[in-house]
Amino acid sequence: MLNNFEFMLPTTVRCGRGIHREVGKELAARGKKRVLLVTDKGLAAAGIVDKITAALAENGYPEVDIFDEVEPNPRDTTVHRGYARAREKGTDALVAVGGGSSMDTAKAIGVLLANGGVIKDYEGLGKVSIEIPTLIALPTTVGTGSEVTFWAVIKDTKENYKMSVGSPLIAPKLALLDPDLLDTLPPAIIAATGMDALTHAIEGYTATVAGPVTDACGLYAIEMIAKNLLPAVYAGDPDAKENMLVASMIAGICFGNSDIGGCHCVSEALGSLYDTPHGIANAVMLPYIMEYNRLANTAKFARVAAALSVRAENMSEWEAARAAVECVKRLNEDLAIPKLREIGVKTEDLDELAMRSATNVSVDSNTRKVGKEEFLAMFRKAMED
């Protein structure tokens, strides 16, 4: 059957300027007593954490426990420290403020609060049996989509790879999308996280497991990102930043219900080996994966080109699919995304990177069948460019 599919969105989304002030009201309405705010030190320094604690204090939460030890590519050891803190404080609600790292860490702390054990016990899809405590997510970047997904990606520090924990029971109850929280977001982070969102939309839309609802979300997100990413980065346009926040959420709904593909297999390998920021790792490799994938589904890549506004009327599907790849390559150049050899990748590691990419949980969702040899060829090509 062409249209056999399942679609799920366990998260309520509210968007608006200043909506972060509602966080206390939302928790009080759910009868929550003890809040753990999960974030990183950069946001504390930027004054964003103060904004959230002030909003909580206004609505009956004068004392909030803050766990601000989240790092990029968050580690299992960090999750376990956050869990120890939450247990000690009697946490019954989590508020995640930040990018994907903070939100994924909060989800993982929630898994342990509800189910006990260590986070590795829950690796894979559907291993969580008890729903996490109420989690409210406030994204402060424009890429992750984690506020609406039921996945957490956490680094296994013993075996040094990124594991995925997936279950509808770990999804945030509420996502508060507030463009006011983006005011201090540096242009380079908008560029990198925006490219992560574009990767989610393109991979989610072209994945082998895509369905009609994820197709709709993916194409619309690509269109929004194509229109808004450059003005958000280079003009600091507040409307463009707001649209990027929404596009990133819609891209999250797309890949959360479809899947990611080869580009995330590669970016998670880069993240585990070199701690490369996730958005950069995706952006660097996206044109190479698209170039490899376009031949397996020219019809869909032609629609990607249309959503990117680079499909001319007289173009065949084949030509349009090529134009989509070229467009993403040029976008990387305009956003000053570094090349693979500029982010510390060593030639002697390429084999290991290809092996890790090929064993990623999402490899079978990639548009075109891909394995270690194909990943290795893409890495080699990217190192030469």
The residues that touch Fe ion, with contacts defined as CB under 5 A, are 196
On whether the CB atoms of residues 179 and 17 are closer than 8 A, the answer is yes
Q: How far is the CB of 17 from Fe ion (least distance, A)?
A: 26
Taking the C-alpha atoms of residue 218 and residue 313, their distance in angstroms, rounded to an integer, is 22
Residues 192 and 152: beta-carbon distance below 8 Å:
no
Q: How far is the CB of 335 from Fe ion (least distance, A)?
A: 16
Least Å from the CB of residue 107 to Fe ion: 15
Q: For Fe ion, which residue has the nearest CB?
A: 196
DSSP structural state of residue 339: P
Q: Closer CB to Fe ion, residue 112 or residue 192?
A: 192
CB of 182 to Fe ion, least distance (A): 18
Closer Cβ to Fe ion, 52 or 260, answer by number: 260
- CB neighbours of residue 132 within 10 Å: 24
Nearest-CA neighbor of 245 among 223, 221, 267, 261? 221
Residue 32 or 278: which CB sits closer to Fe ion?
278
Q: In terms of CB distance, is 40 or 196 closer to Fe ion?
A: 196
Q: What's the rounded Cα separation, in Å, for the pair 62 and 379?
A: 51
Residue closest to 253 by CA, chosen among 177, 316, 329: 177
Closest CB 199 distance from Fe ion, rounded Å: 6
Residue 264 CB, shortest distance to Fe ion, in Å, is: 6
Comparing CB distances to Fe ion, the nearer of 72 and 236 is 72
Q: How far is the CB of 210 from Fe ion (least distance, A)?
A: 16
Count of CA atoms in the C-beta half-sphere (13 A) of 295: 6
Question: What tokens does 355 get?
Answer: 């092996």
Q: How far is the CB of 193 from Fe ion (least distance, A)?
A: 9
261 Cβ contact partners less than 8 Å away, ≥ 6 residues apart: 203, 206, 207, 289, 293, 362, 365, 366, 367
**Nearer residue to Fe ion within complex by CB, 28 or 343:** 343
Please, which residues have CB within 8 angstroms of residue 350's CB and are 6 or more apart in sequence? 376, 379, 380, 383
Residue number, 82 or 261, with CB nearest to Fe ion: 261
CB of 68 to Fe ion, least distance (A): 22
CB nearer Fe ion, residue 61 or residue 255:
255
Quote the CA–CA distance of 350 and 359 in Å, as a whole number: 14
DSSP string, 235-251: S--HHHHHHHHHHHHHH
CA 95/CA 21 separation, integer angstroms = 13
Residue with Cβ nearer Fe ion (24 or 256): 256
Written as six digits, the tokens of 199 are 């990767």
Shortest reach from residue 57's CB to Fe ion, in Å: 33
199-232: b (≥16 Cβ within 10 Å) or e: bbbbbbbbbeebbebbbebbbbbbbbbbbbbbbb
Q: Of all residues in the chain, what percent are helix, strand and coil, respectively (each to 5)?
A: 60, 10, 30
Instruction: Tell me whether residue 35 or residue 232 sits nearer to Fe ion (CB atom).
Output: 232
